[in-house]
Amino acid sequence: MTLVDNKKINIMSLDLFTAFNSEHLWLKFSPKDLAKAQEISESCSLNGGRHQAMLNALSSLCLLKWLKITYQEVNDIKLELDNYNLSTMWEFVNGTPIVINNNSTRLILLPQESDDLTELNISQEWVDIPRFRGDYFLPVQINLENGWLRFWGFITYEDIKNSGIYDDTFYQYILSEYLVEGDINLLFIFEKYALSSKAKYQPLPILSDSEKNHLLLQLRQVNSLTVRHHCNFIQWAAIFSDDVYRQHLYQQYQPISLGAWLHHNFNQAYTQGWQHFRDLAQSLELVNDFPSLPPNGIVMRSGEINLQYIYELHDEQQLKFAAQRLSILSPDSIYKHQALQALNYIMNKSHDDETRWNAAEGIWRLEPNNPNAGLWCGKRINLGVDVNGFSLALVIGLLPKSDTENSIFFRLYGINDSYTLPPNLKVNIMDENTHIFKQLVARVGDRLLQYKFWGKKGEYFWIQINCGTTNLSEGFII
């Protein structure tokens, strides 16, 4: 990181900085600074607060370096919270608290990429939650393309309360650019000579744990960048200011680790509303109407074959047909034991993903805990409210493919009187860069949408469901 002002401009950077207002602090950041900020930001969700987190991490890294070099006499300059707790904030709110002078003074960094500096927007969390209330607020303009940060100056808590316009729609204070003191160095003169008094503030009402738990349930399906607007500020402040509840809410937006499922670790999934598919299917009556098996075997497209002859099959197409027929066998069938043996044989014999998924599904129906059944979990999606009377059930199946790869089976069920999906409902399956690699669209009368794919362990993918004006995204790590 390089400090840049009128006294330290070198010849190579002269053309770039001659138009800059010398009253402001300008810092250049290095590729190493940017890489470090991006690494920190990866703890936030990709379609939520990750970019916001990166801007906050970058501006705080650079300012801390400058402060420690320039103001060595200032005691104990540091981030108030560790990276994990900062991530739980950045997922929802823009701003980074920095404390100086043995935690007696709090600076709130407010980064933005916009070059519109006519007004300053400050999230209410940093003004009206006593635990996080800032003494000084520092807006920062970031130019990622050219690699610089412009510290616009600072404003005091008193100025915000006395002159700020409160926006009760977005829970923020709006201030004119003319209220911002452009020279950040004056902040430390204010601090040294106590020119800015520590104003008193009103404590917020306290909510009980039961009220907070109820709020977490209400907020479960809301996008992380808008979640703070789905309850009143008193309720939101109670969640945000409580480390435990803020972390619980944050975890609801993090990608589900499918790899953890293979190690029978479902703690994260349970907290985000997932459950074993058997329990979900029974509660929603998704598994029913099993066809009966003929008395002497399985009806194949090429005729009829007895269960005992499956072990003589080697052709991949015949194995696929057999797996398809056995996959819909009722658990009450008298052929259950023989069918399980046959399906396990197919699972071990076949190398085709479609065949193996059919076999795995059949094994799951007959013996859900069988290692060859794969792992199946589902959750009911309410989308805040049901859309035209429709609810949805999202199901993910996981099946090991190799030492480095897993197969994924996605299904989306409709839950209404006819168990059909809303017409024109769209599902986008996206890679870790949110590029769509498969789109599914429900037609009139469709009862489910499904898609099978595979990926390398550690890769991300996203499922986005669009129904009318309602959108929902779920992230996963393979």
What is the three-state SS of 192-227? HCCCCCCCCCCCCCCCCHHHHHHHHHHCCCCCCCCH
pLDDT at 293: 44
- Residue 202 makes CB contacts below 8 A (sequence gap 6+) with none
Same domain, 148 and 265: no
Query: What CATH number is attached to the domain comprising 45?
Result: 3.40.210
Q: Is the pLDDT of residue 278 over 80?
A: no
Q: Is residue 23 part of a domain?
A: yes
Q: Does 250 map to a domain?
A: no
Poorest-pLDDT segment among 46-60, 95-109, 187-201, 241-255: 187-201
pLDDT at 200 over 80: no
Question: What dihedral do alpha carbons 20, 21, 25, 28 form, nearest 10°?
Answer: 0
Residue 201, in any domain of the structure: no
Are 362 and 326 in contact by the 8 Å Cβ rule? The answer is: yes
Beta-bridge partners for 117: none
Q: Which residues of 447-463 are buried (b: 16+ CB within 10 A; e: fewer)?
A: ebbebeeebebeebbbb
pLDDT in tens, 113-142: 988 888 899 999 999 999 999 999 999 999
How would residue 161 be classed by pLDDT, with cut points 50, 70 and 90? Answer: very high
Residues with Cβ within 8 Å of residue 31, at least 6 apart in sequence = none
42 and 177 part of one domain: yes
Residue 39 pLDDT exceeds 90: yes
User: Structure tokens of 417?
Assistant: 């009187």
Rounded mean pLDDT of 74-97? 92
Distance, in Å, from the CA atom of 450 to the CA atom of 395, rounded to the nearest integer, reads 9
**How far is residue 78's CA from residue 90's CA, in Å, rounded to a whole number?**
17
Q: Within a domain: residue 420?
A: yes
Please check the confidence at residue 256 and state whether its pLDDT lies above 70.
yes
Greater model confidence, 29 or 271: 29
* 77, 116: one domain: yes
Express each pLDDT in 364-418 by its tens digit. 888 888 888 888 888 888 755 445 656 788 999 888 888 898 899 998 988 877 7
Buried-state track 156-177, b at ≥16 Cβ within 10 A, e below 16: bbebbeeebeeeeeebbbebee
- Between these two residues, 181 and 472, which has the higher pLDDT value? 181
- Domain boundary, last residue among 353, 370, 387: 370
Alpha-carbon distance 112 to 137, whole Å?
A: 13
- Which domain covers residue 135, as residue numbers? 2-192
pLDDT score of 221: 65
Give the three-class secondary structure for 6: coil
Is the pLDDT confidence value at 237 over 80? yes
Q: Which of 327, 352, 370 is the last residue of a domain?
A: 370
Q: 57 pLDDT exceeds 50?
A: yes
DSSP class of 421? P
Q: Check residue 6 and give its pLDDT.
A: 37
Rg of the chain in Å (alpha carbons): 29
- Burial degree of 285 (CB within 10 A; 0-12, 13-18, 19+): exposed
Q: How far apart are CA 68 and CA 71, in angstroms?
A: 6
Per-residue confidence band for 170, with pLDDT thresholds at 50, 70 and 90: very high
HSE at residue 180, side-chain half, CA atoms within 13 A, is: 24
The reply to whether 33 and 62 lie within a common domain is yes
- The strand pair at 172-176 and 448-456 is best described as unpaired
175 within domain boundaries: yes
CA 326-328-334 angle, 5° bins: 70
Q: How many residues does the chain have?
A: 478
Tokens of 61: 């890294």
pLDDT at 79 over 80: yes
DSSP 390: B
> Do residues 251 and 272 lie in contact, with contact meaning Cβ atoms separated by under 8 Å?
yes
pLDDT band of 299, cuts 50, 70, 90: very low
Q: Which helix (H) or strand (E) holds 137?
A: strand 136-143
What is the amino acid identity at position 197? S
Of residues 53 and 348, more confidence is placed in 53
Instruction: For Cα atoms 39, 41, 43, give the angle at the middle one, nearest 5 degrees.
Output: 95
**Per the domain annotation, does 200 fall within a domain?**
no
Does the structure show a pLDDT above 60 at 164? Answer: yes
Say yes or no: 213 and 328 in one domain: no
Residue 118 shares a structural domain with residue 180: yes
Domain membership of residue 170 (yes or no) is yes
Q: Are residues 80 and 145 in the same domain?
A: yes
* Per-residue pLDDT band at 358 (split at 50, 70, 90): confident
Region at 255 (left for phi over 0; alpha for psi -120 to 50; beta for the rest): beta
Instruction: Look at strands 136-143 and 105-112 and give their pairing.
Output: parallel
Q: Which residue has the tokens 């009103």?
A: 202
**pLDDT above 90 for 261:** no
Same domain, 385 and 466: yes
pLDDT at 283 (0 to 100)? 64
Q: What 3-state DSSP class applies to 462?
A: strand
Average pLDDT of the residues of the chain: 82
pLDDT for position 19: 36
Would you say residue 17 has pLDDT above 50?
no
* Residues 325 and 214 occupy one common structural domain: no
Q: Are 165 and 235 members of one domain?
A: no
Residue 425 half-sphere exposure, CB side, CA atoms within 13 Å? Answer: 26
pTM here?
0.72
For residues 362 and 378, state if they share a domain: no
Whether 67 and 160 share a structural domain: yes
The Cα-based distances of 184 to 24, 25, 66 in angstroms read 7, 7, 12
Q: Is 427 helix (H, G, I), strand (E, B) or coil?
A: strand
pLDDT at 400: 86
Number of domains in the chain: 4
Q: Output the domain CATH number for residue 266.
A: 2.60.40
Residue type, 305: I
Give CA–CA dist 421/391, Å, rounded: 8
Q: What is the token pair recorded at 308?
A: 């005992």
| Among 283, 290, 342, 350, CA closest to 315 | 350
pLDDT recorded at residue 22: 57
Both tokens assigned to 391: 């609810």
Residue 202 counted as domain residue: no
Residue partners of 98: CB distance under 8 A and separation at least 6: 60, 63, 64, 77, 78, 79, 80, 106, 107, 108, 109
